[in-house]
Structure 1
Amino acid sequence: MTLKRLSLLTLSLIQLSFYSTAALADDDRFKDVQITSQKLTDSTYMFTGSGGNIGVSAGSDGILIIDDQFAPLADKISASLNKIQPGNPKYVINTHYHGDHTGGNAHFGEQGIIFAHHNVLKRLSAKEGTPKAALPVVTYSEDVSIHFNNDTLTLKHLGPGHTDGDSVVFWKKDNVVHMGDLFFKDRFPYVDLKGGGSVLGYRNNVAKVLMIIDNQTQVIPGHGELASKDDLMKFKHMLDDSINWMNKQLTNGRTLEQIHATGLPEQWKSWSWNFITEKKWIDTLYQDLKA
């Protein structure tokens, strides 16, 4: 064997080892995750596990899911679905493009049709290595309705917020709404500015949803426990206060360092969490509102 071939073989083995190690690390990370099912109505469920909450419609027309968490959890999600009703999902809805909501697309997209906003297809297509089965097949600009399991599910795009491709899903009859990541219950939200998100758009979209739902609506957040309209209203108050507070800091000509030193109003400090800390939320507000 020539030195050149030996070098290429060694490189290939190193690459194989790297990808195998990465795959094992992923498997190890998710091996203890349990997919928990919560029944909301006769045909509607919320699944929690690791990543974004999953909405489920199961009935005489089959199964529909909203978001599908991380790729290594696909088999566990399928097993949990089969406890409710046998069969594979006919339809998959992506509320946005992030991997903790679309990781299972390649698995569920093999036999199901994926729906999403145009920009979800655009962003997933731009990601190198994304298999065709993981890409949305039906896309839309504003909204589309799916008539399924004796109900009408409306997928509505309200404009840039969490990203530039968010969808909120409303069940007309069952009075349930899946917010995607336009709602982090009792936590500071992640506004993906590089993904076309907008702090003001985010707040305004939450306000639009509040005008549509009522006090009996069951609200599925992107992350966190099942919520109510009151919980979503509390979330909007936090957004309003955060935006007004930051605008005041900017009007007074304060630097980012000075703003960090002051910190957010005391009532919201407990909303800090491991992914979006108080510091990161302040950084997001400053970056977007200063522009």
Structure 2
Amino acid sequence: MLAFNGQAFAHADSRPEVEIKAQKLTDGIYVLFGQGGNIGLSVGNDGVYMIDDQFAPLSDKIKATVAEITDQPVSYLINTHWHGDHVGGNENFAKGGTVIVAHDNVRQRMSTGLEMSSLGRKVEPSPEAALPVITFDSELSLHLNGDEMRVYHVAKAHTDGDAIIYFAKDNVLHMGDTYFNIGYPFIDVSSGGTVDGYIAAVEKGLSLANDDTQIIPGHGPMSNKKELAEFGVMLKDLRSSVAKLKDKGMSLEDVLAAKPSAKYDEENGKNFIKPDQIVTFIYKTL
């Protein structure tokens, strides 16, 4: 079973001290940090458009923080994937008139629930009001607030329903959980995540970014193309190391004992995902 700290999967109402902090990135784009996935926010003449919404008990705090920036309501909400630390507030926002947008598989996962074996927990189906009402297959564009918001599906990465969002004019990229800027990433095998898909998602992000792009990771502080590239190099190296051992016919237990992630563990193996866990994800999805 994976052991996650409170920021990722615990219930937000067990952390009453959580504060929602806003950081201005451009004249119209903000990032909100709290408990759970980082929130992207677009503010302008066309209204307020948000990316992810953390946990349900934090909705009022999130709305209050948005209200400090603008007096407009949240018109659209884009979910980067289906995990509760990113979609937990959906129902609360939808009841206020917010239109929820996500990949087809996000609605499917939320509708049916899932046994998340890697977390040792069962996720029940979401209420109808929490489900995305606009879904897409591969990509879509939203022409809002003087920018072009491009939403891309990246297949079988963190999950099978991940989306990354690029604001072309503002040059801001939200990677969702296809980028953990806090160490090793969580590859949700039970939700269709794979190491190859994860690497491909990072490559997609790098293809959209330039040296001036401000990158919002799913978790962790703001980042940039150089750091995202380094994250991608690490993942490729880990994949290669695990693949070489697996190709020799070694069992998962033997591969774990060989410690193929050792050179990265000090810097990356002390947060959400521990060394044995990232190696297991990679081994199982090769």
Quickly say closer, same or farther: Cα 1:28–1:52, change in 2 above 3 A: closer
What one-letter code is carried by the residue in structure 2 that aligns with 1:42?
Answer: D
Partner of 1:284: 281
Is 1:160–2:167 an aligned residue pair?
A: no
Higher relative contact order (CA 8 A, sep 6+): 2
Query: Secondary structure of 2:162's match?
Result: coil
Percent of aligned positions that are identical? 43
Q: Computing the radius of gyration over CA atoms, which structure comes out larger, 1 or 2?
A: 1
Greater strand fraction, Structure 1 or Structure 2? 2
Q: Number of matched residues?
A: 265
Partner of 1:230: 226
Is 1:36–2:32 an aligned residue pair?
A: no
Partners of 2:231 and 2:125 lie apart in 1 by 36
Q: Is the 8 A contact 1:88 1:108 kept in 2?
A: no
Q: Which moved more, 1:232-241 or 1:119-128?
A: 119-128
Partner of 1:243: 239
Q: Which moved more, 1:231-240 or 1:131-140?
A: 131-140
Partners of 1:207 and 1:221 lie apart in 2 by 14
Partner of 2:108: 122
TM-score under structure 2 length normalisation: 0.89
Deviation at 1:199, TM superposition (A): 0.9
Matches within 5 A, 1:14-33: 26=11, 28-33=13-18
Partner of 1:272: 269
Deviation at 1:115, TM superposition (A): 0.5
Is 1:57–2:61 an aligned residue pair?
A: no
Partners of 1:178 and 1:86 lie apart in 2 by 24
Partners of 1:158 and 1:243 lie apart in 2 by 18
Is 1:109–2:97 an aligned residue pair?
A: no
Quickly say closer, same or farther: Cα 1:254–1:275, change in 2 above 3 A: same
Partner of 1:182: 178
Query: Secondary structure of 1:124's match?
Result: helix
Quickly say closer, same or farther: Cα 1:28–1:206, change in 2 above 3 A: closer
Query: Secondary structure of 1:227's match?
Result: coil
Partner of 1:70: 55
Quickly say closer, same or farther: Cα 1:135–1:276, change in 2 above 3 A: same
Partner of 1:4: none
Partners of 1:26 and 1:209 lie apart in 2 by 30
Instruction: Calculate the aligned-residue CA RMSD, in Å.
Output: 1.5
Listed as ranges, the gaps of 5+ residues in structure 2 are 1-9, 114-123
Partner of 2:76: 91
Q: Is the 8 A contact 1:203 1:239 kept in 2?
A: yes
Partners of 1:156 and 1:26 lie apart in 2 by 29
Q: Which moved more, 1:235-244 or 1:28-37?
A: 28-37
Partners of 2:82 and 2:147 lie apart in 1 by 26
Partners of 1:97 and 1:64 lie apart in 2 by 18
Listed as ranges, the gaps of 5+ residues in structure 1 are 1-24
Deviation at 1:265, TM superposition (A): 4.1
Partners of 2:125 and 2:243 lie apart in 1 by 41
TM-score under structure 1 length normalisation: 0.87
Partner of 1:219: 215
Q: Is the 8 A contact 1:30 1:73 kept in 2?
A: no
Q: 1:45 aligns with which of 1, 8, 30?
A: 30
Query: Secondary structure of 2:50's match?
Result: strand
Q: Is the 8 A contact 2:183 2:272 kept in 1?
A: no
What one-letter code is carried by the residue in structure 2 that aligns with 1:55?
Answer: G
